[in-house]
Structure 1
Amino acid sequence: MTGKDIAGLDEAKHAIPLGTKINVTFLDNEDLEMRVAAAKAVKDLGFVPVPHISARRLQSQDQLEEFLGRLQEVGATGHVFSVGGDPTTPEGPYDSSLALIQSGLLPKYGVREVSIAGYPEGHPDIPDDVLWRHLEDKSAALKDQGMDAVILTQFAFDTDPVLDWIHTVRDRGIATEIRIGTPGPAGIKRLLGFARRFGIGANAMIVKKYGFSLTNLMGTAGPDRFVTDLASHLAHDHSAGSEAGGAGAARTAGSVKLHFYTFGGLLATSEWARDFIAAQS
């Protein structure tokens, strides 16, 4: 959710299980009061706030500490998401989420778990070798400071690169829980717009596999097929690893969950997840 989505969260609360993690964005058109109010609303409704901290948008250490202090006052610093952010030139002393983590300030304000970004299909502006090095360095820095980590990925339409990336993460010795970014149901044009913005592969073959066509952009699309396909492959990996033992077990995906991007709104995504779970059971 964004800082402007408090009313939307209240509308969707009936469809969200208590204790669900809800991320709160750090956008350039929002201010401190909006971010803190949104995190407090999440907490007050019985959910777990995960405020984003955009490293390159922070103008000073004082601004970071003010934000963390205000979040701590409303009980919203247990879980945060440290992300680099969009500005090409950093607005202050932190040029990356790694630099933010290495500041050592997060545990001082009660942070116990830090989400860090993962990019199964790469990043349009960052070379793959840099992405992998930072992922490893962030994981090590969090461990050294006694904080837990979660890898939260960009959203995807295709399970194949996601599964390959998960296995590469595990091959590099990173056992952290992974939450795969998944678009909630939304208009097809809107989904493709976000895909272009974030460098996500969306060619005709991939989106057909996901469940919609580039020749018909007027409808909406949900992640039913993507989630089902991903779950099937992960279950097969787990089964194969358990049967193989030893080296085979090391190739299993480990702890993998979902993170929903609510491009179509909190209510639509929450009701979709509720209904999907009910249909499976």
Structure 2
Amino acid sequence: MDCPSTASASAVAPLLDDFSLEMTGKDIVRLEEARDLIPAGTRINITFLGNEDPGTRLAAARAVRRFGFTPVPHISARRLRSRPELEELLAALRSDGTADHVFVIGGDPTTPHGPYHDALALIRSGLLQEYGVRHVGISGYPEGHPTIADPVLWSAIEDKTADLARYGLSGGIITQFGFDAAPVLAWIEAVRARGVAVPIRVGVPGPAGIGRLMTYAARFGVGTSASIVKKYGFSITNLMGTAGPDRFVHALADGYDGRRHGVLKLHFYTFGGLKPTARWAADFRTREGN
């Protein structure tokens, strides 16, 4: 593996400090196994999967809080069937003390199940702050979205961040994961050029089997050309191997300039591997002297 440059080593610390993780509602046992490796207060996003019921998601949010971390439940706009269903979810989160931070997303269904056709509709419902939400995360797509045109994506970021400020809510962007730091950094500069100053968490794939990573990349429309795959550290001839984000994080740190990119942190997509990801982060910080 390539050794990090001096610039990379010195710039990694602010990126890795206060990183966040992602889990599903069914990952409570995995979270408990990894808890000693995760810094107290770490933000842990809880995905909104169609095959998990609200009780599963709520239990996961409670577990995150119980273990000393900050739960960030996802709310999928197009999966909600009605305004009362959204209110019921928000009321339950508030009752559990897990409503401070949420992440709003349009979701997978092409046709909305109810009145909310995208994340902006959730923000404009006025219900988030009414039920105690203080911070709202939104999505960013440095390499574009397979079914949404770029002008629509840009308008969405501008409108969502503007409306969050209008409603008195703090906001932040979490990007889709990628394997090449260059387009991510270029996209972040474009975000800042549009006057969007909220913190950005760069999506990073946690260490996992190469075949598994490639499968997720294909599912989410992430670029995986041969040159990118080689740069990230994949071995095309050995899809049974594993890959970690060392090279990606070093490249991101090398190109990071706070004056141009603003506040950046890392958000790890764990793909069910909470403990390997937490261990990688702890080991990486030790190797970097952080």
Equivalent residue in structure 1 for 2:78, among 56, 79, 82: 56
Determine whether 1:273 maps to 2:286: no
2:54 is matched with 32
SS at match of 1:231: helix
Give the total of aligned pairs: 267
1:38-81 per-residue CA deviation (whole Å, 9 max, x = no partner) reads: 00000011000000000000000111011111111111111000
1:115 is matched with 137
Q: Which amino acid aligns with 1:185?
A: P
1:203 is matched with 225
Q: Distance in 1 between matches of 2:239 and 2:70?
A: 35
1:253 is matched with 261
Residue 277 of structure 1 deviates from its aligned partner by 0.7
Q: CA RMSD in A?
A: 0.7
Contact 1:185 1:264 (8 Å CA) reproduced = no
Higher relative contact order (CA 8 A, sep 6+): 2
Equivalent residue in structure 2 for 1:214, among 236, 243, 253: 236
| Unmatched runs of 5 consecutive residues or more in structure 1 | 239-248
Q: Distance in 1 between matches of 2:160 and 2:237?
A: 41
2:160 is matched with 138
Contact 1:80 1:114 (8 Å CA) reproduced = yes
Determine whether 1:125 maps to 2:154: no
Contact 1:120 1:162 (8 Å CA) reproduced = yes
Q: TM-score, normalised by structure 2?
A: 0.91
1:124-174 per-residue CA deviation (whole Å, 9 max, x = no partner) reads: 000000000010000011000000001000000001110110000000000
Equivalent residue in structure 2 for 1:21, among 22, 43, 47: 43
Q: Distance in 1 between matches of 2:39 and 2:24?
A: 19
Poorly superposed stretches of 4+, deviation over 6 Å: none
Percent identity of paired positions between Structure 1 and Structure 2: 61
1:166 is matched with 188
Q: TM-score, normalised by structure 1?
A: 0.94
Q: Which amino acid aligns with 1:15?
A: L
Comparing 105-114 and 260-269, the one that deviates more: 260-269
Contact 2:27 2:272 (8 Å CA) reproduced = no
Determine whether 1:6 maps to 2:28: yes
